[in-house]
Amino acid sequence: MDKNFTKDVLKKVKSLEITTKKLVNDALSGHYHSVFKGQGMNFSEIREYVIGDDVKNIDWNVTARQGTPHIKKYNEERERTILLLIDISPSTLFGSIKSKKDVIAELSSVLTFAAEKNLDKVGLILFTDRIELFIPPGKGRSHLLRIIREILYYEPKGKLTDLTIVLDFLNKSFSRKVVAFLISDFNILNNPVDLKVKFKSTGVHHDLITVRITDKNEIEIPNVGIITLEDLESGEILEVDTSSRRVRKNYKNLILQKNSDFEGMIKSCGIDLLNIDTEHNYMPILVKFFTIREKRK
């Protein structure tokens, strides 16, 4: 591998680490820790029953031996598993100010270092119309920096986005509940009915959070005359006369309806959806999300 390329990679990864760690410390401190529940309860000790204890925790065998009521005491298992499910299909390369891919990388880094600060494990699944890369959950700086490096520089083989594949992989690979952030522009070709079934099933078994990354120029076409548009995933070519107000309006309505339909489907499945665009700072949206989750507990 080219030494200069390797140096540039390390420089960008370290720069992203410094920036996102500061964001975590400044903006997310105090929010992340209390938002997500642990994976279960660990047995701690047996002690005498006192008024106010839950009678469901009485250990009847010990109670019979001791002659007085005793209960089993449990502590919440705080370590969680955080999974980043990242769409790396070609459509994420688009961006008018900053590419969707760059925003995804920054956001993923924030979530990664927030998890590290709270001693949680972090894993990564990169996908297109196939599972491109799977890094099992782990801890440690080298592990986390590898995750960031792969998000930034992994070269995908697939050209399309298939959400059912990544949701199936998640459900088959993890029997215990995980916190999964599914980050994509959701430029998908999946059947909405089939997809809704997959989302519902996944939401039952895991804490699934969808994050949609958008760009303003995907909704508002500027008036620049006749242009050629290419779908980065399907390769379809289309000539559009952007000087026509009717064409611009119809296109915008089509995209807004598509986005609205997707949002309705996600909400009907009881799954959280965060909308983030490439133009604005995503941190207030993330902080607001964590704050709402805290109040919901």
pLDDT above 90: residue 296: no
pLDDT digits (tens, 9 = 90+) for 171-196: 999 998 999 999 999 987 667 778 99
The percentage of the chain sitting over the pLDDT mark of 90, rounded to a whole number, equals 41
Token output for 235: 């390769």
In angstroms, the CA 258 to CA 187 distance is 10
Mean pLDDT of 225-237: 69
- Of 94-103, 131-140, 235-244, 285-294, the range with the lowest mean pLDDT is 235-244
Q: How confident is the model at residue 44 (pLDDT cuts 50, 70, 90)?
A: low
* pLDDT value of residue 192: 72
Nearest-10 Cα torsion for 217, 273, 143, 161:
-60
Q: How confident is the model at residue 105 (pLDDT cuts 50, 70, 90)?
A: very high
Token output for 74: 């449990």
pLDDT digits (tens, 9 = 90+) for 69-94: 888 765 555 578 999 999 999 999 98
* Structure-model confidence comparison of residues 51 and 30, the more confident one: 51
Which residue has 């270092």 as its token pair? 113
pLDDT above 70: residue 218: yes
User: Are the C-beta atoms of 114 and 154 separated by less than 8 Å?
Assistant: no
In angstroms, the CA 111 to CA 85 distance is 12
Structural domains in the chain, CATH included, are 3-34+79-296 (3.40.50.410), 41-77 (no CATH)
Over its C-alpha atoms, the chain yields an Rg (Å, rounded) of 23
Q: Where are the strands (E) in the chain, listed by range?
A: 40-48, 70-77, 81-87, 121-127, 131-138, 179-184, 207-214, 226-230, 237-241, 272-277
Identify the three-state secondary structure at position 171.
helix
* pLDDT value of residue 30: 62
Token output for 221: 């076409």
